[in-house]
């Protein structure tokens, strides 16, 4: 008798299968199946309707020579790097909030609000803030005698403008995760270091940051993945009738959307999605490799 | 009508869809009808028009108590991805709005129900629709959608700004030069007022001027474009000259704040666009008594592009007979009259436009109907959405004045031809 047959005879296995069924069915139907079908499509020429034809690696070959794809990857990479700058900011803010003795949760709620706000609403509000003629940002800059720009209509600035929103939107989640990490650091460590004469700043760099590094690492992983998938901001903020910055500001997921759903090239879109998946996997693997040198598991 | 309902509208729609999509008007009548009860879905992308669509559905249900019609309103960008995925996957709405530039892909892919026989048996007179519109929903000799509405273009202008600058209002005697001259006189940098909005707008803008210059946009046969010919270049120059003269907001400004919003906030005095803005301007209290419309100026000749929404049905619908019945109703006089009376749009059905004219008497809306006589169908060829999407990218340098128009036009033409060659 094989081991699997043995286990199938054990009482309760049927129940166990029944209990995991909803999750498994959901996983297969909502993740595994779409992934496989995307993978298959990436080797096909898929018209809007009607039968697909296999074209082997044609989509990938076209993609490698497509300047638009490279530019989109470049934009996504720049955006990701800029959004990562928000992590040190989140660490500092988390440490500061931790110092607050009363009303800590008020701060947390304030920073968390953007996370639970509809991205569409966020995009609209920022579109107004960034408006070159009537925007809030340029108005505030004018107080200091600074000439503003067309932040989301000038391709030189769009990615930076998105990144500022991305940092702001990501702050809430990061603060929650980092805040939880901070609370896990024993108070005794701080007390001991204070007795040894360490100041606040020194404590921050020599206790808080190293002991928080597992949380920082986790936040970094999440941030990179989310940043590489950025789509909604560009979708809301650049989709006016003909925004002249759009051609130069597309992110990789935006390009995927455009190819697959606007231009009816689903096979090509699928290939872009697969390449993005590989890029995310490599980026994440790389981070796991690098973490050995800086993450401290006390 | 396609790209004009974009970002702002789409976002507003996103926020509002939840509220509206649940409310389908009308009960299914008192007497229990013979035959099984059937529910049809009818998708559109316009919050502005949704109430009229509900009213049409209710009217249809009165005549067909066994059929319930659910009106679905989706935001513009989501509309097309939902429809495409639904049509490919078997879950598309039964009836839905279609546009000329998307139509060909759907018809070619067999996603639309063929209405050719229905038109014959129901005795529909196809000449009741503007030919330019009904032609654009015919594919390989078969009819796949009945025109719902149509739009031609005119000059929307702000009378208050014209009065302030002492410029006479545009009328049917105007040629290109008059527009250029008036735009200069109307521009007042101190007040932040521009004479005209000159965005990179195909349907409301350069398609019309290219045609007025005697050019074509797509060469006969649909396998090559004609953006670089001397007539087309002249048509494009009409707009780049306005930019060069500084009588329009820059492209960047128009990217941030769409031309129609600029017009509504009374920052621009003239705006070339379609009939579909009438209701919005009519409802805008700030513009009361200040706005009117005139025919497009003449170039070498008169011309305007025209297009319209078509009502199409899904080939995979579970209730094809009921669906055809509904589509016939949507293409008929009663549905047109409801649209006209609510001021929603200019209905395509001949003779039903009067209530639309009467609903907003402050505008000379007859301009749009008169324009049918010199209207040309919106150019479509190959994967239209793809090559149209390239326009802003290739033409912007000409608008910004950093590249000669001839050169930008040549590059755009090459890019369009490359897309067309893929067919």
Nearest to residue A123, comparing CAs of A13, A238, A2? A238
Measure A95 CA to nearest chain B CA, in Å: 37
The residues of B whose Cβ lies within 8 A of any Cβ of A are 3-4, 6-7, 10-11, 14-15, 77, 80-81, 84-85, 87-88, 105-106, 108-111, 199-201, 251-259, 383, 385-386, 389, 391-393, 396, 399-400
| Residue B39, strand partner residues | B68
Chain B CB contacts of A240 under 8 Å are 6-7, 254-256, 258
pLDDT of res. A90: 94
pLDDT of res. B188: 93
pLDDT tens-place string over residues A281-295: 999 999 999 988 888
C-beta pairs of A127-130 under 8 Å, 24+ apart in sequence? A127/A152, A127/A236, A127/A237, A130/A161, A130/A237, A130/B256
| pLDDT grade for B269, boundaries at 50, 70 and 90 | very high
Measure A139 CA to nearest chain B CA, in Å: 15
Q: In this complex, do B108 and A264 lie within 8 Å of one another by their Cβ atoms? A: no
Specify whether the CB–CB gap between A69 and A272 falls below 8 A: yes
| Mutation to test the A interface, candidates B80, B239, B256, B402, most A Cβ within 10 Å | B256
Q: In this complex, do B252 and A124 lie within 8 Å of one another by their Cβ atoms? A: no
pLDDT of res. B31: 36
Nearest CA in chain A to B87: A49
Residue B171 structure tokens: 């009328």
Alpha-helical (H) ranges within B267-390 are: 278-283, 320-330, 333-341, 354-359, 366-370, 384-388
pLDDT of res. A60: 94
Chain centre to alpha carbon of residue A232: 11
Q: In this complex, do A262 and B386 lie within 8 Å of one another by their Cβ atoms? A: yes
Which has the higher per-residue pLDDT, B27 or B332? B332
pLDDT of res. A47: 76
Residue B223 to residue A121: CA distance in whole angstroms? 42
Q: Which residue has the tokens 């001027």?
A: B209
Chain A CB contacts of B199 under 8 Å are 241-242
Which has the higher per-residue pLDDT, B255 or B324? B324
B234 has a pLDDT exceeding 90: yes
Q: In this complex, do B257 and A258 lie within 8 Å of one another by their Cβ atoms? A: no
pLDDT of res. A240: 59
Chain centre to alpha carbon of residue A225: 4
Arithmetic mean of pLDDT, B150-176: 95
CATH topology for the B7-151+307-350 domain: D-Maltodextrin-Binding Protein; domain 2 (3.40.190)
Specify whether the CB–CB gap between A129 and A236 falls below 8 A: no
Q: In this complex, do A236 and B199 lie within 8 Å of one another by their Cβ atoms? A: no
Q: In this complex, do B385 and A262 lie within 8 Å of one another by their Cβ atoms? A: yes
Which has the higher per-residue pLDDT, B62 or B31? B62
pLDDT tens-place string over residues A81-119: 999 999 999 999 999 988 887 888 888 888 888 888 888
B8 has a pLDDT exceeding 70: no
B340 has a pLDDT exceeding 80: yes
Nearest to B251 among A118, A235, A244 (CB): A244
Any idea which of A83-87, A130-134, B118-122, B316-320 has the lowest mean pLDDT? A130-134
A4 has a pLDDT exceeding 70: no
Any idea which of B53-57, B95-99, B377-381 has the lowest mean pLDDT? B377-381
pLDDT tens-place string over residues A114-133: 888 888 888 889 988 998 88
The correct answer on CATH 1.10.3720.10 for the domain covering A61-294 is: yes
Residue A277 to residue B296: CA distance in whole angstroms? 50
Mean pLDDT of chain A, nearest integer: 88
Measure B157 CA to nearest chain A CA, in Å: 20
pLDDT tens-place string over residues B186-201: 999 999 999 999 999 9
Nearest to B392 among A48, A152, A247 (CB): A247
B271 has a pLDDT exceeding 90: yes
| pLDDT grade for B342, boundaries at 50, 70 and 90 | confident
pLDDT of res. A270: 93
Chain B CB contacts of A124 under 8 Å are 11
Measure B180 CA to nearest chain A CA, in Å: 23
B61 has a pLDDT exceeding 90: yes
pLDDT tens-place string over residues B368-405: 999 988 999 889 888 887 888 889 889 999 999 999 99
Q: In this complex, do B255 and A120 lie within 8 Å of one another by their Cβ atoms? A: no
B344 has a pLDDT exceeding 90: no
Arithmetic mean of pLDDT, B220-240: 93
Spatial neighbors of A97 by CB under 8 A, at least 6 apart, are A104, A107, A108, A175, A179
B324 has a pLDDT exceeding 90: yes
Percentage above 70 pLDDT, chain B: 91
Measure B295 CA to nearest chain A CA, in Å: 23
Work out whether the CA dihedral A21, A23, A26, A27 comes out positive or negative: negative
Arithmetic mean of pLDDT, A264-271: 90
| pLDDT grade for B10, boundaries at 50, 70 and 90 | very low
Residue B323 to residue B313: CA distance in whole angstroms? 7
Q: What number of C-beta contacts closer than 8 Å exist between A and B?
A: 115
Q: In this complex, do B392 and A264 lie within 8 Å of one another by their Cβ atoms? A: no
pLDDT tens-place string over residues B98-112: 998 889 889 988 899
pLDDT of res. B69: 96
A267 has a pLDDT exceeding 70: yes
pLDDT of res. B209: 96
A223 has a pLDDT exceeding 60: yes
Arithmetic mean of pLDDT, B197-208: 93
Percentage above 90 pLDDT, chain B: 65
Measure A223 CA to nearest chain B CA, in Å: 26
Complex prediction ipTM: 0.74
Specify whether the CB–CB gap between B2 and A242 falls below 8 A: no
Quick one: residue A197, left, alpha or beta (phi over 0 = left, psi -120 to 50 = alpha)?
Answer: left
A243 has a pLDDT exceeding 90: no
Arithmetic mean of pLDDT, A17-34: 89
Q: Rounded to whole angstroms, what are the CA distances from B74 to B10, B15, B105, B193, B280?
A: 8, 10, 20, 35, 19
For the CA atoms of chain B, what is the radius of gyration? 22
| pLDDT grade for A242, boundaries at 50, 70 and 90 | low
Chain A CB contacts of B393 under 8 Å are 246-247
Domain boundaries, chain B: 7-151+307-350, 153-305+376-421
Nearest CA in chain B to A262: B385
Measure A273 CA to nearest chain B CA, in Å: 17
pLDDT of res. B4: 38
Assign domain B153-305+376-421 to its CATH architecture.
Answer: 3-Layer(aba) Sandwich (3.40)
Nearest to A246 among B14, B106, B392 (CB): B392
Specify whether the CB–CB gap between B259 and B136 falls below 8 A: no
B335 has a pLDDT exceeding 90: yes
Nearest to A240 among B7, B81, B105 (CB): B7
Any idea which of A227-241, B78-92, B158-172, B206-220 has the lowest mean pLDDT? A227-241
Measure B7 CA to nearest chain A CA, in Å: 5
Arithmetic mean of pLDDT, B240-259: 92
Q: In this complex, do B257 and A243 lie within 8 Å of one another by their Cβ atoms? A: no
Q: In this complex, do A120 and B385 lie within 8 Å of one another by their Cβ atoms? A: no
Task: Report the half-sphere exposure of B16 (CA within 13 A, side-chain side).
Answer: 16
């Amino acid at each position: 008798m094989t081991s699997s047959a043995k286990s199938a005879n054990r009482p309760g296995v049927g129940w166990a299968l029944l209990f995991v069924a909803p999750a498994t069915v959901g996983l297969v139907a909502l993740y595994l199946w779409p992934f496989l079908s995307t993978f298959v499509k990436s080797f096909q020429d898929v018209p809007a309707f009607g039968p697909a034809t296999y074209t082997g690696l044609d989509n990938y070959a076209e993609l490698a020579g497509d300047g638009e794809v490279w530019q989109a990857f470049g934009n996504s990479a720049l955006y990701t790097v800029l959004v990562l700058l928000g992590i040190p900011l989140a660490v500092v803010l988390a440490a500061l909030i931790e110092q607050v003795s009363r009303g800590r949760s008020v701060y947390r709620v304030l920073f968390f609000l953007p996370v639970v706000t509809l991205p569409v609403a966020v995009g609209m509000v920022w579109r107004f803030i960034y408006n070159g003629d009537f925007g809030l940002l340029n108005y505030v800059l004018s107080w200091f005698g600074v000439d503003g720009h067309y932040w989301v209509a000038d391709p030189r600035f769009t990615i930076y403008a998105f990144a500022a929103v991305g940092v702001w939107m990501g702050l809430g989640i990061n603060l929650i995760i980092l805040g939880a990490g901070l609370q896990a650091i024993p108070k005794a460590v701080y007390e001991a270091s204070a007795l040894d004469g360490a100041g606040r700043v020194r404590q921050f760099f020599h206790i808080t940051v190293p002991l928080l590094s597992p949380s920082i690492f986790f936040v970094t992983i999440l941030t990179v993945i989310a940043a590489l998938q950025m789509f909604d901001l560009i979708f809301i903020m650049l989709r006016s009738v003909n925004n002249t910055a759009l051609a130069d500001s597309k992110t990789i997921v935006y390009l995927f959307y455009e190819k697959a759903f606007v231009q009816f090239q689903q096979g090509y879109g699928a290939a872009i999605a697969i390449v993005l998946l590989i890029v995310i996997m490599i980026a994440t693997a790389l981070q796991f490799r690098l973490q050995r040198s800086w993450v401290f598991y006390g | 009508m396609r790209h004009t309902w974009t970002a702002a509208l789409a976002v507003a729609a996103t926020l509002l869809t939840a509220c509206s999509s649940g409310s389908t008007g009308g009960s299914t009548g008192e007497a229990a009808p013979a035959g099984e009860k059937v529910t049809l879905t009818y998708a559109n992308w316009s919050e502005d028009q949704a109430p009229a669509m509900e009213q049409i559905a209710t009217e249809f249900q009165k005549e067909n108590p066994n059929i319930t019609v659910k009106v679905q309103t989706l935001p513009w960008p989501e509309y097309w991805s939902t429809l495409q995925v639904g049509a490919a996957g078997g879950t598309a709405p039964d009836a839905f709005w279609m546009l000329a530039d998307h139509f060909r892909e759907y018809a070619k892919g067999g996603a639309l129900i063929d209405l050719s026989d229905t038109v014959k048996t129901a005795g529909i007179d196809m000449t009741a629709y503007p030919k330019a519109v009904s032609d654009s929903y015919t594919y390989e000799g078969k009819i796949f959608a009945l025109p719902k509405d149509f739009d031609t273009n005119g000059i929307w202008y702000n009378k208050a700004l014209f009065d302030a600058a002492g410029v006479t209002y545009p009328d049917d005697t105007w040629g290109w030069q008059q527009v250029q001259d008036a735009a200069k006189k109307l521009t007042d940098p101190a007040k932040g007022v521009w004479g005209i909005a000159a965005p990179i707008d195909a349907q409301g803008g350069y398609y019309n001027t290219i045609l007025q210059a005697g050019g074509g946009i797509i060469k006969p046969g649909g396998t090559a474009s004609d953006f670089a010919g001397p007539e087309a270049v002249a048509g494009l120059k009409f707009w780049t000259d306005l930019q060069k003269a500084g009588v329009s907001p820059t492209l960047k400004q128009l990217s941030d704040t769409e031309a129609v919003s600029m017009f509504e906030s009374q920052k621009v005095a003239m705006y070339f666009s379609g009939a579909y803005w009438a209701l919005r301007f009519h409802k805008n209290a700030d513009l009361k008594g200040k706005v009117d419309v005139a025919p497009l100026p003449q170039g070498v000749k008169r011309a305007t592009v025209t297009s319209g929404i078509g009502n199409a049905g899904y080939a995979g619908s579970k209730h094809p007979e009921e669906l055809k019945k509904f589509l016939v109703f949507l293409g008929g006089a009663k549905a047109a009259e409801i649209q006209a009376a609510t001021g929603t749009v200019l209905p395509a059905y001949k003779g039903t436009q009067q209530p639309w004219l009467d609903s907003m008497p402050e505008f000379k809306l007859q301009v749009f109907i008169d324009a049918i006589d010199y209207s040309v169908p919106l150019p479509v060829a190959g994967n239209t959405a793809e090559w149209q999407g390239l326009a802003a990218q290739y033409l912007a340098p000409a608008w910004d004045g950093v590249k000669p128009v001839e050169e930008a036009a040549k590059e755009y033409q090459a890019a369009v031809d490359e897309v067309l060659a893929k067919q």
